[in-house]
């Protein structure tokens, strides 16, 4: 069985990734806690690639076990790509999802161009202590529009109530989770990771 540490303790992400990779028989996805890793992983890079790499490397340096990390941002055209890599803390260091949504709505007030996309970058590091590790990146992107107010059935998280993906008339927070999980940025990045693992 191949052990792959996922640099997260976020239960939703782990469930989503385990489900997406479940058809690969010989892979076991292990969380940070299950791998016995404690402490805050630094996320101080100024790109999604940089943060994903920083998190995966933190794990690899401590375990010398194959591992991967993800980083996601919402990139809004009219705001020059903001909040981007700062999506989680757009409204400040300890802000809530609601604070971030309020700030985004305020910054887009009166703007006609509502185009935006979510982008997820996964960094996979493979290698053991005797060999130099190799690094691979997998990127998923979903394009859409930022709505002028919240649209939600209570599903989803983060910016979901404001994001309507192209070709759909529902926000991410209104659509069934199963549907979001087939078209989302994260799903597309995980699909590329899966294709790589199946062929490597």
Q: What positions carry a catalytic annotation?
A: 71
Number of residues that bind ligand IMP (CB under 6 A): 13
Question: What is the distance between the alpha carbons of residues 168 and 147, in angstroms, rounded to a whole number?
Answer: 13
Q: Taking CB under 6 A as the rule, which mask of x and - marks residues 48-67 in contact with ligand IMP?
A: --------------------
Q: 176-195: which residues touch ligand IMP (CB under 6 A)?
A: 184
Nearer to ligand IMP, 64 or 102 (CB): 102
Q: Taking CB under 6 A as the rule, which mask of x and - marks residues 151-170 in contact with ligand IMP?
A: ------xxxx----------
Nearer to ligand IMP, 145 or 184 (CB): 184
Q: Report the residue from 87, 123, 188, 194 that binds ligand IMP according to the rule CB under 6 A.
A: 87
- 7-16 long-range Cβ contacts below 8 angstroms, 24+ apart: 7/32, 7/41, 7/55, 7/56, 7/58, 7/59, 7/67, 7/68, 7/69, 7/70, 8/32, 8/69, 8/70, 9/33, 12/157, 13/70, 13/186, 16/181, 16/186, 16/187, 16/190
Are residues 102 and 144 in contact, defined by beta-carbon separation less than 8 angstroms?
A: no
Q: Report the residue from 24, 41, 45, 88 that binds ligand IMP according to the rule CB under 6 A.
A: 88
CB of 36 to ligand IMP, least distance (A): 22
Nearer to ligand IMP, 60 or 172 (CB): 172
CB of 104 to ligand IMP, least distance (A): 10
CB of 71 to ligand IMP, least distance (A): 4
According to the binding rule CB under 6 A, does residue 126 interact with ligand IMP? no
Question: What is the distance between the alpha carbons of residues 28 and 68, in angstroms, rounded to a whole number?
Answer: 13
DSSP character string of 75-120: EEGGGTT-EETTGGGTT-TT--HHHHHHHHHHHTTT-S--EEEEEE
Binding site for ligand IMP (CB under 6 A): 71-72, 74, 87-88, 100, 118, 157-160, 172, 184
């Amino acid at each position: 069985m191949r052990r792959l540490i996922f640099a997260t303790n976020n239960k939703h992400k782990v469930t989503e990734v385990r489900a997406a990779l479940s058809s690969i028989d010989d892979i076991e996805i292990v969380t940070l806690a299950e791998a016995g890793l404690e402490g805050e992983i630094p996320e101080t890079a100024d790109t999604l690639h940089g943060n994903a790499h920083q998190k995966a490397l933190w794990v690899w340096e401590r375990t010398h076990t194959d591992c991967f990390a993800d980083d996601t941002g919402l990139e809004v055209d009219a705001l020059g790509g903001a909040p981007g890599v700062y999506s989680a803390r757009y409204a400040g260091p300890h802000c809530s999802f609601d604070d971030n949504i309020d700030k985004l709505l305020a910054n887009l007030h009166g703007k006609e161009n509502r185009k935006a996309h979510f982008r997820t970058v996964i960094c996979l590091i493979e290698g053991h202590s005797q060999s130099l590790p190799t690094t691979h990146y997998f990127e998923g992107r979903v394009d859409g529009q930022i709505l002028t107010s919240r649209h939600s059935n209570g599903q989803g998280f983060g910016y979901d109530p404001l994001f309507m993906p192209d070709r759909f008339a529902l926000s991410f927070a209104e659509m069934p989770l199963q549907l979001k999980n087939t078209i989302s940025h994260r799903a597309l990045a995980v699909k590329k990771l899966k294709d790589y693992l199946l062929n490597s």
